[in-house]
Amino acid sequence: MKKVFILIFLFMYFSCNDDDSQSGSNQKNSFKGEVDWIRNFGGSGDETAQAVIQTSDGGFAVLGYTNSMDGELTGKDTPVNDYWLVKLDANGDMQWNKTYGGSKDDRGQSIIQTTDGGYAIVGYAMSDDGDGSNNEGFHDNWIVRLDALGNILWEKSFGFSGHDHSYDVVETSDGGFFFAGFLDVTQSEGAGNFGKGTYLTRHGVGEFWGTKLDESGNLEWRRYFGGTNNDRAHGAVQADDGGFVMAGFSESDDFDISNTKGSYDFWVVKVDETGTMLWEKSFGGSGIEISYDITKTRDGGYAIIGNTFSSDLDVSKNNGESDVWLIKIDNDGNLVWEKTFGGSGFDAARGIKTTLDGGFIIAGNSKSTDGIIEENRGENDFWVIKTDAYGNLEYQQTFGGSDLDFGFDALETSNGNILLVGETTSKDLMGIDHKGGVDLIIIYIR
């Protein structure tokens, strides 16, 4: 009888442990794809969120721009766009927010948390007053270095007499910064290269423009790359070998650009740590492709996101008017694979980040009601996509109201959930209290 009792006890013990093990596994992989919370911030004017990061304290920092002077913007006294940084805790509650700019149009585009716990933010600005100390023309590349509470440590403006924009920034391995965007080279009259190996060739309308600063914001070098037409870099990463890779689009087929595919291509440029071009590659079909973001992959390659109108050459299929197009390239710029996502309407992507398991989170918007997209609530809806490391679809969902909703960036949180940011004009979006013309929006998906 005693032996029977022991056997029963052991059976129950190991059964309970198996259940606990399975429960722990389910908790680890408990992502359901359901909205846990949604927050909108702003005033009676227009706000947008362009970029989001998870911060070292488990919260989030969101960068965009605003022209409101009320609501959460009570300290703002000019009805023009300023950079807007919103700091949230892990539950999406605002801890603080700050604006940066002057009396003209200043638009924040990208944010990183620096190794000291502060932040670096970039975008493009017209102001030469307020927080901005200098401006050379219309928009200039403007980088602002902040401490952990959003106080300005230093700021620097770089540009010429035209519209010069910066869209992405990285903290470099030497403690400095590299940011990328485009140079209005027509207005700069060929100026815009600085440092060792300066190029003397003047190209065309707009160029990829990469700028390297030291940790204090002093210019070390800058280079532009492109052809005679419109070429713009939207994303940048530092390569494992210390160089930099910029991704965007090109309309050109000459000077630095070879082997073009259509009217606009994804264009990717790799430079070494001094700004010398190592290679450039074009990807696309005979139609239009626009790339908006790039992220590094675990194997030393790169994933690049945007949208395509093509269905030939590098593009294996097209589901409708415009599809999200995701490509994977190796460290030498060779195409490894590509995937399209969408329905028969206009679908596009703006942001990509790598997930904990080596896959990808993609932020964008959709007007489709078919294909893999189950529902459209009106006009453009937010659209978030999760894939594995090979671009195979694991999860996708649209969210929105009856008006215009655009997703610009997303990330996988440290606990495996998803945060999506963008802008909305919908007054009937998931029960939010709409504040103005366009609201900054944050959606947490569990």
Q: From edge to edge, which strands make up the β-sheet containing 152-158?
A: 106-113, 119-125, 140-146, 152-158
- pLDDT tier for residue 431 given thresholds of 50, 70 and 90: confident
Please report the domains of the chain, with CATH numbers, ordered by start residue.
Answer: 36-445 (2.120.10.30)
Taking the C-alpha atoms of residue 20 and residue 161, their distance in angstroms, rounded to an integer, is 65
- pLDDT tier for residue 74 given thresholds of 50, 70 and 90: confident
Q: What is the pLDDT of residue 180?
A: 98
Taking the C-alpha atoms of residue 144 and residue 77, their distance in angstroms, rounded to an integer, is 20
Residue 221 has pLDDT above 70, yes or no: yes
Task: Classify 226 as helix, strand or coil.
Answer: coil
Taking the C-alpha atoms of residue 257 and residue 253, their distance in angstroms, rounded to an integer, is 5
Residue 160 has pLDDT above 90, yes or no: yes
Average pLDDT (433-438) is 95
Determine which helix (DSSP H) or strand (DSSP E) holds 3, and give its type and residue range: helix 2-28
Cβ-proximal residues to 67 (8 Å cutoff; 6+ apart), any chain? 45, 46, 47, 79, 80, 81, 82
Q: What is the pLDDT of residue 203?
A: 78
Q: What is the pLDDT of residue 111?
A: 98
Query: 187 and 162 in contact (C-beta within 8 Å)?
Result: yes
Q: What is the pLDDT of residue 13?
A: 36
Tokens 């294909």 locate to 371
Q: From edge to edge, which strands make up the β-sheet containing 347-354?
A: 347-354, 360-366, 381-387, 393-399
Residue 64 has pLDDT above 70, yes or no: yes
Compute and round to an integer the Cα radius of gyration of the chain.
Answer: 23
DSSP E strand boundaries for 150-206? 152-158, 165-171, 177-183
Residue 209 has pLDDT above 60, yes or no: yes
Q: What is the pLDDT of residue 366?
A: 98
CB-CB neighbours of 418 under 10 Å: 23
Percent of the chain with pLDDT over 90: 89
- pLDDT tier for residue 430 given thresholds of 50, 70 and 90: confident
Q: What DSSP state is assigned to residue 62?
A: E
Average pLDDT (193-205) is 69
Judge residue 336's burial from the number of C-beta atoms within 10 Å of its C-beta, 0-12 exposed, 13-18 middle, 19 or more buried: middle
Residue 6 has pLDDT above 80, yes or no: no
Average pLDDT (127-133) is 97
Tokens 């991704």 locate to 247
CA geometry: angle 233, 234, 236, nearest 5 deg:
85
Sign, Cα dihedral of 252, 138, 200, 170? negative
Interval 336-358: pLDDT, tens: 999 999 999 999 999 999 999 99
- pLDDT tier for residue 204 given thresholds of 50, 70 and 90: confident
Cβ-proximal residues to 13 (8 Å cutoff; 6+ apart), any chain? none
- pLDDT tier for residue 197 given thresholds of 50, 70 and 90: low
Average pLDDT, rounded, for the chain: 92
Percent of the chain with pLDDT over 70: 92
Residue 17 has pLDDT above 50, yes or no: no
Interval 230-284: pLDDT, tens: 999 999 999 999 999 999 999 999 999 999 999 999 999 999 999 999 999 999 9
> Residue 186 has which token pair?
């027509």
Half-sphere exposure of residue 185: CA atoms within 13 angstroms, side-chain side? 27
Residue 15 has pLDDT above 50, yes or no: no
- pLDDT tier for residue 28 given thresholds of 50, 70 and 90: very low
- pLDDT tier for residue 102 given thresholds of 50, 70 and 90: very high
Residue 200 has pLDDT above 70, yes or no: no
Length in residues, the chain: 446
- Distances 149 to 76, 78, 108, 172, 304 between C-alpha atoms, Å: 18, 23, 17, 22, 32
CA geometry: angle 22, 23, 24, nearest 5 deg:
90
Taking the C-alpha atoms of residue 348 and residue 322, their distance in angstroms, rounded to an integer, is 7
- pLDDT tier for residue 202 given thresholds of 50, 70 and 90: low
Average pLDDT (423-428) is 97
Question: pTM score, two decimals?
Answer: 0.92
Phi, psi of 330 (to 5 degrees): -90, -175
Amino acid at 413: T
